[in-house]
Structure 1
């Protein structure tokens, strides 16, 4: 029986669920996900969850915030003067806006969630939307394609 191992090209279908039961991501919406295990293409815990699976096997993995998008960081919530957004009078809570921030000495466009709009400023949150969340994935392995040079030992 073939098992997924490091550097295999695998295809999975999956569903990601928050502790509230809300589905935050699903291959039913995006189509099957293909990646090379160990290639840092997916969350490390997701990657490790797939290694050792057999075709057709379904597994549920739980990913703590530290192993996903990190804990929420309150220092990533900032208030900007309204003029920062130019003539855009349509800024509303829930919108994602692109902000130019300096990272490692370089300007970089970063998405931020508008949390609140006040007369004296716009409160934005730079945390990843899934920061602080425990993620549960149900993964079904659909196919394994060994990478060139990988051993063909089935375990």
Structure 2
């Protein structure tokens, strides 16, 4: 089955910082990555490179920040009052969370520092501002279910989630 819009794609990949060769992510450590082709759930340049390919296809794709996760934006570093995190059971450096922004959008952040009553969080993707090299292998391709297409993301049945059957990958 070929990768095309509406197909669920299962990938194994390694991501390297092209400048220094540092391994940034390896799906062998965290499990395969799943997305629906053409739904904007993955890096567009990678989706484009995989269009029409099949299970077993492997390639290396190099991306500039513009093609990948964008330039690093200093404006996305925020200092917040620790009291704003009372709903969190455990507050620690490296914790990621979603914040509601003033413009009614949501933004993902990672806590980078906790000092006294000040929490510093970074809204940049960890790969932003980096030239990247993805080593990608297609592990599977299947039709997306009607429910997956309707929700716009892959479902993993048998896992507990707020929305039964949904995994927000």
What interval of TM-score do these two structures reach, taking the shorter chain for normalisation? Answer: 0.5 to 0.7
Match of 1:149 in 2: none
Q: Which has the larger radius of gyration?
A: 1
- Decide whether the 8 Å contact of 1:80 with 1:121 is kept in 2: yes
Query: Structure 1 or 2: larger strand share?
Result: 1
Match of 2:23 in 1: 22
Structure 1 stretch 65-74 or stretch 14-23: which is displaced more?
A: 14-23
Match of 1:153 in 2: none
Q: 1:115 to 1:53 in 2, by over 3 A?
A: same
Q: Does residue 111 in structure 1 map to residue 112 in structure 2?
A: no
| Matched position secondary structure for 2:70 | coil
Computed over aligned residues only, the root mean square deviation of the Cα atoms, in angstroms, reads 3.5
1:10-65 CA distance string (max 9 Å, x none)? 745331312243251426743474643x4434211111211354664321111221
Which of the residues 123, 127, 140 maps onto 2:124?
A: 127
- Decide whether the 8 Å contact of 2:3 with 2:54 is kept in 1: no
The number of equivalent residue pairs is 141
Q: Which runs of 5+ in 1 are unaligned?
A: 147-155
Which of the residues 136, 160, 163 maps onto 1:139?
A: 136
Q: Which runs of 5+ in 2 are unaligned?
A: 144-169
TM-score w.r.t. structure 2 length? 0.61
